[in-house]
Structure 1
Amino acid sequence: MSSGVEAIKWVDNQLELLDQRLLPGQALYITCKDSTEVADAITQMVVRGAPAIGVSAAYGVVLAADAAFSEHQQAWKANIAEAIETLANSRPTAVNLFWALDRMQRVIDTLEDSSPPHQSLLDEAKNIHSEDIAANKQMGKLGAELMAASSDTPFSVITHCNTGSLATGGFGTALGVIRHGWDAKIIKHVYADETRPWLQGSRLTAWELQRDGISVTLNTDSAAAHIMKQGDVRWVVVGADRITANGDAANKIGTYSLAVLARYHGIKFMVVAPSSTVDMSLSSGDLIPIEERTGEELTSIKEVQLAPENIAAFNPVFDVTPAELIDAIVTEQGVVLNPTLDKMKALLG
């Protein structure tokens, strides 16, 4: 089973990230030599997808610690906080970012001020990376098994944004389910929403699936209802950047619309995300901070102006799908059907 492309690499004590802004036209890795460059890469969408952001930030802490120890050997711990804060501010919605930084901070707290931090922090970053890949494969298996139990015949699915190897440590969340489902001959075809305005569906998901030989058709976001009406789609499968205690899920803008359409057409809706994406400190999706980006991302493409000059533009990056529209949340720890607060608590112990 293919795991797709390797988007995050640690090479010669530097972080190499596949620049996802250039895909599919060019596969170019950029090298981050310090934590500021990692934070910039996250903010500028060189790397995106909640799990991939968390993994990249963990390696960013390694770079920050190396720099702090080089400059302040006896007091490096006191000089790393600002770098971690910069990483934390790179994207506000993806909870995996903060989860990964918290894990790295716990390791920092165990180290002596005069102890070289490199190996301990690198080991933890690599653990975060490898654990994410393992979690993705487990989620893929669980999600595909759930799909198989719902139908005796192969069917099509719709997905939104990119949730594959590019968005994770490797293999993918929702695309991990699709990869398992395709290999098991449960899924016969995938419809990939283009995902405006960054076009992650057309540039990234279509590219990943095509590379793996999975049957895929690209569609405009606004064609989803028409596709659902044809009757061949049985599941919508998406990822998440944050899931709250009651099962509400924040994901790429347009996901909420898909959930509403799926419910009308009698189509199941699955959210696939690692348990690190679940934020039990927030009671509902109303409390999730929704990132907004510049209106220029809507009014132009590759610096070609498409809209009137100086037009007001609203560009939220995420929306929140209410738990009552979600049929299943799939994590590496298990599956929650028709999520509620009590079911989420039971899942996470």
Structure 2
Amino acid sequence: MKKSMLAIGAISILFFSFIATQPKIYAQAGGSSVPFLLISPDARMSGMGETGTAIADDINAIYWNPAGLGFLDYFPKQNPFDENEELRPFRQVALSYSPWLPQFNADLFYSYGTIGQYFDYLQGTVAFNFIFMNLGEFNRTSANGDPMGKFISNEFALGLSYGTIIAPDLSIGAQLRYIQSNLTPTVAGQQDAGNGNSVSFDLGLLWKPQNLPYITDRLSAGFNLKNIGPKITYIRESDPLPTTLNLGLAFNIVKDEYNDLKVAGNFSKLLVKRDSLGSDPLPKSLVTGWDNPGADWSFGLEYWYDQVFALRAGYFTEPSTIGGRQYWNFGAGVKYSIFHVDFSFINTVEANHPLANTMRFSMLIDWR
């Protein structure tokens, strides 16, 4: 693909505008960097409208709510009537892939993977993950338009997470993440490039009461404050990370031998405050970020038949003052032996939206 240096700017703007925020947000609600951190990684939760904060019941909890790792201790017995069968510690691997912004035919793609295991001596589950966003290959040209070779633009993050139970119905989790952004290479005679790095951490809580009156163990509630960290610098310009507060609720409407129907909702608020004078630093932005107009809301449901076949649907919306993204999510999943395979699809309300027809493919493996 032949592109000029202007293409990297165009792709970056489009990526930022339609994934994390819209141009209105940049002026009104923050203008954060590395928006790839806000892309939901797995097809299951994406198919439910990105409502994973209060669910977080597999290894992908490292993204949605690291506190969910605390409840992932042992696999259920394959034969519940066999008293001699030993409990096996939870171990799971997840992989996801998504061609990104397919309408642009720009060879963008998003990939994600995680692996985790419960350790009895740590009384919790440890997980490691990576996120990689490929922004394509570009032709580099001089100020006179002469070709100077090619470069690849990408961003990635590496994360380490831990979750544990701190009360019978309550878990806590955290993630430490390294972030690297490689937008443009270093040019001879210049000291700076469009590259930057930073670190961040996430903090989550998950409440899963077991004996509530009338509803027993059907309700769960989650909290996740993510992407907390120092600004990332490009060519002497510093931009804040997309620090985000997520609150979620989930409820099992139907739960019997063959049928399982769950509904969930999620509230998401970008806590970044930026204006013409710059952006507020942490921890001040955790307070001033509430002055940003509006927030994202999402709702979803998941139906399992015999814990073998799943159908999912969800809806994501944000007010027009912060971009106005609105889309339906649909998904399906199949579970066979130790394998879980999931697929999701975005159907945007607005015609010809860059996110239209975005698909995700995911696989989970129970490493028994």
Shorter-chain TM-score range: under 0.3
Structure whose residues are more often strand by fraction:
2
Structure whose residues are more often helix by fraction:
1
TM-score normalised to the size of structure 2?
0.26
Q: Which has the higher contact order (CA 8 A, sep 6+)?
A: 2
